Amino acid sequence: MMKLISYRTGILSLVLLICLIPASGCGVMNDKPAAESLSLVLAGMDGSDGVSFEGEAALLIGGKTVPESSLYYGGKVADHNKVSLYSLLPDGSQPDTAAESAPHHLEQGSGNVPVYYTRLVKEDGEWKAQQAAPALQESNPLEALNPLRQLEELEGLQKTVTEEAGSARGTRVLRIELTPEEARSQLSAELEQEMQAIRPDDQGAAGTAAGKPAKEQEARAALWEQKQAELQQRLKQASIRTVYYLKVDPKRNLPARLTWNRTATYPGKTGEVTEETYITRVDFYGYQ
Protein backbone atom coordinates (compact mmCIF):
# COMPACT_ATOMS: atom_id res chain seq x y z
CA MET A 1 0.00 0.00 0.00
CA MET A 2 1.04 3.57 -0.56
CA LYS A 3 2.25 5.58 2.40
CA LEU A 4 1.84 9.32 2.86
CA ILE A 5 2.45 11.49 5.91
CA SER A 6 1.55 15.04 4.95
CA TYR A 7 3.79 17.63 6.59
CA ARG A 8 2.35 20.62 4.80
CA THR A 9 -1.33 20.18 4.06
CA GLY A 10 -3.04 18.98 7.21
CA ILE A 11 -6.62 18.59 5.99
CA LEU A 12 -7.72 14.97 5.79
CA SER A 13 -4.24 13.96 6.94
CA LEU A 14 -5.42 11.11 9.12
CA VAL A 15 -7.74 9.73 6.46
CA LEU A 16 -4.87 9.70 3.99
CA LEU A 17 -2.45 8.29 6.56
CA ILE A 18 -4.78 5.46 7.57
CA CYS A 19 -6.26 4.65 4.17
CA LEU A 20 -3.15 4.96 2.04
CA ILE A 21 -1.19 2.65 4.33
CA PRO A 22 -2.63 -1.49 4.28
CA ALA A 23 -5.63 42.99 -1.44
CA SER A 24 -3.27 44.44 1.20
CA GLY A 25 -3.95 46.00 4.63
CA CYS A 26 -3.72 49.43 6.11
CA GLY A 27 -1.31 48.88 8.99
CA VAL A 28 1.58 51.32 9.21
CA MET A 29 5.11 50.45 10.30
CA ASN A 30 8.00 52.91 10.40
CA ASP A 31 5.82 55.40 8.54
CA LYS A 32 5.32 52.96 5.65
CA PRO A 33 2.21 50.91 4.86
CA ALA A 34 2.70 47.34 6.08
CA ALA A 35 2.28 45.92 2.58
CA GLU A 36 5.03 48.20 1.29
CA SER A 37 7.28 47.13 4.15
CA LEU A 38 6.67 43.49 3.23
CA SER A 39 7.73 44.17 -0.36
CA LEU A 40 10.92 45.88 0.84
CA VAL A 41 11.79 42.96 3.13
CA LEU A 42 11.22 40.42 0.36
CA ALA A 43 13.33 42.50 -2.02
CA GLY A 44 16.10 42.59 0.58
CA MET A 45 15.98 38.80 0.84
CA ASP A 46 16.30 38.57 -2.95
CA GLY A 47 19.46 40.67 -2.77
CA SER A 48 21.19 38.47 -0.19
CA ASP A 49 23.90 36.13 -1.46
CA GLY A 50 23.15 33.52 1.16
CA VAL A 51 21.71 32.73 4.58
CA SER A 52 21.42 29.78 6.96
CA PHE A 53 18.17 28.69 8.58
CA GLU A 54 16.65 26.23 11.02
CA GLY A 55 13.00 25.38 11.45
CA GLU A 56 10.32 22.96 12.55
CA ALA A 57 6.94 21.81 11.28
CA ALA A 58 4.08 19.95 12.93
CA LEU A 59 0.42 19.06 12.50
CA LEU A 60 -2.02 19.48 15.39
CA ILE A 61 -5.44 17.82 15.46
CA GLY A 62 -7.80 18.97 18.16
CA GLY A 63 -4.92 20.88 19.70
CA LYS A 64 -2.72 17.77 20.02
CA THR A 65 0.41 17.21 17.94
CA VAL A 66 0.40 14.21 15.58
CA PRO A 67 3.74 12.63 16.61
CA GLU A 68 4.74 11.39 13.16
CA SER A 69 4.15 14.84 11.66
CA SER A 70 6.85 16.64 13.68
CA LEU A 71 9.92 17.54 11.65
CA TYR A 72 13.00 19.58 12.51
CA TYR A 73 15.17 20.82 9.69
CA GLY A 74 17.98 23.14 8.73
CA GLY A 75 19.68 24.37 5.60
CA LYS A 76 21.48 27.02 3.63
CA VAL A 77 20.79 29.35 0.73
CA ALA A 78 23.66 30.07 -1.69
CA ASP A 79 24.02 32.17 -4.85
CA HIS A 80 20.44 33.46 -4.52
CA ASN A 81 18.91 30.38 -6.16
CA LYS A 82 20.36 27.27 -4.52
CA VAL A 83 18.91 25.75 -1.36
CA SER A 84 20.02 22.69 0.63
CA LEU A 85 17.79 21.28 3.35
CA TYR A 86 18.33 18.44 5.79
CA SER A 87 16.43 17.00 8.72
CA LEU A 88 17.56 17.61 12.31
CA LEU A 89 16.91 15.91 15.62
CA PRO A 90 14.80 17.86 18.17
CA ASP A 91 17.99 19.04 19.90
CA GLY A 92 19.21 20.62 16.65
CA SER A 93 21.84 17.98 15.87
CA GLN A 94 22.03 16.01 12.63
CA PRO A 95 21.26 12.26 12.72
CA ASP A 96 24.03 9.90 11.72
CA THR A 97 23.42 9.41 8.01
CA ALA A 98 24.98 9.05 4.61
CA ALA A 99 22.36 11.38 3.17
CA GLU A 100 24.96 14.08 2.51
CA SER A 101 26.20 11.95 -0.37
CA ALA A 102 22.85 12.07 -2.17
CA PRO A 103 20.94 15.14 -3.35
CA HIS A 104 17.51 13.77 -2.46
CA HIS A 105 17.44 10.92 -0.01
CA LEU A 106 15.52 9.26 2.76
CA GLU A 107 16.77 6.62 5.14
CA GLN A 108 16.32 5.63 8.77
CA GLY A 109 18.56 7.43 11.23
CA SER A 110 19.20 6.59 14.86
CA GLY A 111 16.07 5.68 16.80
CA ASN A 112 14.17 5.04 13.56
CA VAL A 113 14.03 8.78 12.90
CA PRO A 114 13.58 9.39 9.13
CA VAL A 115 16.53 11.24 7.64
CA TYR A 116 15.80 13.58 4.76
CA TYR A 117 18.09 15.62 2.56
CA THR A 118 17.55 17.55 -0.64
CA ARG A 119 19.18 20.17 -2.84
CA LEU A 120 17.02 22.54 -4.86
CA VAL A 121 17.84 25.04 -7.58
CA LYS A 122 15.60 27.66 -9.14
CA GLU A 123 15.36 27.30 -12.92
CA ASP A 124 12.99 29.23 -15.18
CA GLY A 125 11.15 30.57 -12.15
CA GLU A 126 10.54 27.15 -10.56
CA TRP A 127 12.29 25.32 -7.74
CA LYS A 128 13.49 21.88 -8.82
CA ALA A 129 15.53 19.06 -7.30
CA GLN A 130 18.98 19.09 -8.87
CA GLN A 131 18.73 15.36 -9.58
CA ALA A 132 15.78 13.02 -9.88
CA ALA A 133 14.67 11.55 -6.58
CA PRO A 134 15.12 7.81 -6.10
CA ALA A 135 12.03 5.60 -6.01
CA LEU A 136 10.86 5.95 -2.42
CA GLN A 137 7.63 4.85 -0.78
CA GLU A 138 7.53 8.06 1.24
CA SER A 139 7.64 11.55 -0.20
CA ASN A 140 10.38 13.92 0.90
CA PRO A 141 8.67 16.74 2.88
CA LEU A 142 11.64 19.13 2.72
CA GLU A 143 10.90 20.47 -0.76
CA ALA A 144 7.66 21.99 0.55
CA LEU A 145 9.58 23.61 3.42
CA ASN A 146 11.92 25.59 1.18
CA PRO A 147 11.83 28.97 2.99
CA LEU A 148 12.81 30.94 -0.11
CA ARG A 149 9.81 29.59 -2.00
CA GLN A 150 7.54 30.35 0.95
CA LEU A 151 8.75 33.96 1.06
CA GLU A 152 8.51 34.38 -2.71
CA GLU A 153 4.91 33.17 -2.73
CA LEU A 154 3.87 35.85 -0.24
CA GLU A 155 4.34 38.59 -2.83
CA GLY A 156 1.70 37.28 -5.21
CA LEU A 157 -0.92 35.95 -2.80
CA GLN A 158 -4.18 37.78 -2.11
CA LYS A 159 -3.78 38.94 1.47
CA THR A 160 -4.12 41.54 4.18
CA VAL A 161 -0.83 42.84 5.62
CA THR A 162 -0.70 44.66 8.96
CA GLU A 163 1.78 45.35 11.71
CA GLU A 164 1.40 42.94 14.62
CA ALA A 165 0.35 44.90 17.69
CA GLY A 166 2.30 44.49 20.91
CA SER A 167 5.63 43.55 19.33
CA ALA A 168 8.59 43.75 21.70
CA ARG A 169 10.69 46.89 21.61
CA GLY A 170 13.20 46.82 18.78
CA THR A 171 11.30 44.14 16.84
CA ARG A 172 9.00 44.42 13.86
CA VAL A 173 6.44 41.74 13.04
CA LEU A 174 4.23 41.72 9.97
CA ARG A 175 0.98 39.76 10.07
CA ILE A 176 -0.04 38.41 6.66
CA GLU A 177 -3.47 36.79 6.42
CA LEU A 178 -4.63 35.23 3.16
CA THR A 179 -8.14 35.87 1.93
CA PRO A 180 -10.42 32.83 2.48
CA GLU A 181 -10.48 32.20 -1.26
CA GLU A 182 -6.69 32.35 -1.53
CA ALA A 183 -6.22 30.09 1.51
CA ARG A 184 -8.52 27.48 -0.03
CA SER A 185 -6.86 27.76 -3.44
CA GLN A 186 -3.37 27.40 -1.94
CA LEU A 187 -4.31 24.30 0.04
CA SER A 188 -6.17 22.75 -2.88
CA ALA A 189 -3.15 23.13 -5.15
CA GLU A 190 -0.83 21.56 -2.56
CA LEU A 191 -3.17 18.62 -1.97
CA GLU A 192 -3.50 18.02 -5.71
CA GLN A 193 0.27 18.02 -6.11
CA GLU A 194 0.71 15.51 -3.30
CA MET A 195 -2.05 13.23 -4.55
CA GLN A 196 -0.68 13.23 -8.09
CA ALA A 197 2.76 12.37 -6.72
CA ILE A 198 1.42 9.13 -5.21
CA ARG A 199 -1.01 8.24 -7.99
CA PRO A 200 -0.62 4.49 -8.71
CA ASP A 201 -1.15 4.95 -12.44
CA ASP A 202 2.11 6.89 -12.56
CA GLN A 203 3.87 3.86 -11.10
CA GLY A 204 2.13 1.27 -13.24
CA ALA A 205 5.10 0.50 -15.42
CA ALA A 206 7.36 0.13 -12.41
CA GLY A 207 4.83 -2.10 -10.70
CA THR A 208 4.50 -4.38 -13.71
CA ALA A 209 8.27 -4.61 -13.98
CA ALA A 210 8.42 -5.61 -10.34
CA GLY A 211 6.01 -8.44 -11.06
CA LYS A 212 2.98 -6.99 -9.29
CA PRO A 213 -0.29 -8.58 -10.50
CA ALA A 214 -2.64 -6.47 -12.61
CA LYS A 215 -5.39 -6.93 -10.02
CA GLU A 216 -3.21 -5.38 -7.35
CA GLN A 217 -2.50 -2.40 -9.59
CA GLU A 218 -6.22 -2.00 -10.26
CA ALA A 219 -7.00 -2.17 -6.54
CA ARG A 220 -4.41 0.50 -5.79
CA ALA A 221 -5.80 2.72 -8.53
CA ALA A 222 -9.37 2.25 -7.25
CA LEU A 223 -8.28 3.12 -3.70
CA TRP A 224 -6.55 6.25 -4.94
CA GLU A 225 -9.67 7.37 -6.84
CA GLN A 226 -11.83 6.78 -3.76
CA LYS A 227 -9.53 8.79 -1.50
CA GLN A 228 -9.19 11.56 -4.06
CA ALA A 229 -12.98 11.92 -4.16
CA GLU A 230 -13.17 11.92 -0.34
CA LEU A 231 -10.44 14.51 -0.16
CA GLN A 232 -12.19 16.85 -2.58
CA GLN A 233 -15.48 16.49 -0.71
CA ARG A 234 -13.81 17.22 2.62
CA LEU A 235 -12.06 20.24 1.13
CA LYS A 236 -15.40 21.66 -0.08
CA GLN A 237 -16.80 21.40 3.44
CA ALA A 238 -13.76 22.87 5.16
CA SER A 239 -13.18 26.38 6.43
CA ILE A 240 -9.54 27.38 5.84
CA ARG A 241 -7.64 30.17 7.57
CA THR A 242 -3.98 30.87 6.78
CA VAL A 243 -1.86 33.44 8.61
CA TYR A 244 1.87 34.19 8.34
CA TYR A 245 3.96 36.16 10.83
CA LEU A 246 7.18 37.66 9.51
CA LYS A 247 9.63 38.93 12.11
CA VAL A 248 11.98 41.47 10.54
CA ASP A 249 15.58 42.28 11.46
CA PRO A 250 15.14 46.06 11.97
CA LYS A 251 18.78 46.90 11.31
CA ARG A 252 19.02 45.20 7.92
CA ASN A 253 15.33 44.99 7.00
CA LEU A 254 15.66 41.26 6.33
CA PRO A 255 13.55 38.28 7.48
CA ALA A 256 14.53 36.99 10.92
CA ARG A 257 11.68 34.47 11.42
CA LEU A 258 8.76 33.25 9.34
CA THR A 259 5.86 31.48 11.05
CA TRP A 260 3.04 29.93 9.05
CA ASN A 261 -0.26 28.81 10.64
CA ARG A 262 -2.95 27.10 8.59
CA THR A 263 -6.14 25.97 10.34
CA ALA A 264 -8.77 23.81 8.67
CA THR A 265 -12.10 23.05 10.34
CA TYR A 266 -14.61 20.63 8.85
CA PRO A 267 -17.45 18.32 9.97
CA GLY A 268 -16.49 14.77 10.84
CA LYS A 269 -18.39 11.64 9.85
CA THR A 270 -20.40 11.65 13.08
CA GLY A 271 -21.16 15.38 12.90
CA GLU A 272 -18.49 16.66 15.27
CA VAL A 273 -16.23 19.47 14.08
CA THR A 274 -12.59 18.57 13.50
CA GLU A 275 -9.87 21.21 13.66
CA GLU A 276 -6.43 20.65 12.14
CA THR A 277 -3.64 23.20 12.40
CA TYR A 278 -0.43 22.98 10.42
CA ILE A 279 2.41 25.10 11.81
CA THR A 280 5.88 25.84 10.50
CA ARG A 281 8.51 28.15 11.94
CA VAL A 282 11.87 28.96 10.40
CA ASP A 283 14.63 31.22 11.77
CA PHE A 284 17.18 32.93 9.49
CA TYR A 285 20.73 33.80 10.53
CA GLY A 286 24.20 34.39 9.09
CA TYR A 287 23.23 36.57 6.14
CA GLN A 288 25.95 37.08 3.53
- The secondary structure of residue 110, as a DSSP letter, is G
Residue 3 lies in a domain: no
Reference 177, options 149, 191, 157; nearest CA is 157
Residue 8 lies in a domain: no
Instruction: Determine the pLDDT at residue 46.
Output: 85
Residue 7 lies in a domain: no
Residue 6 lies in a domain: no
168-183 residue pLDDT tens: 677 789 999 999 999 9
Residue 45 lies in a domain: yes
Is the pLDDT at 25 greater than 50, yes or no? Answer: no
Catalogue the E-assigned strands of 109-184: 114-123, 126-129, 159-163, 172-178
pLDDT band per the 50, 70, 90 thresholds, residue 96: low
Residue 26 lies in a domain: yes
Number of domains in the chain: 1
Residue 36 lies in a domain: yes
Instruction: Determine the pLDDT at residue 256.
Output: 95
Tell me the pTM: 0.79
Reference 261, options 283, 240, 277; nearest CA is 277
Quote the domain boundaries for residue 252: 13-285
Is the pLDDT at 70 greater than 50, yes or no? Answer: yes
Residue 196 lies in a domain: yes
Is the pLDDT at 113 greater than 90, yes or no? Answer: no
pLDDT band per the 50, 70, 90 thresholds, residue 193: confident
Instruction: Determine the pLDDT at residue 165.
Output: 74
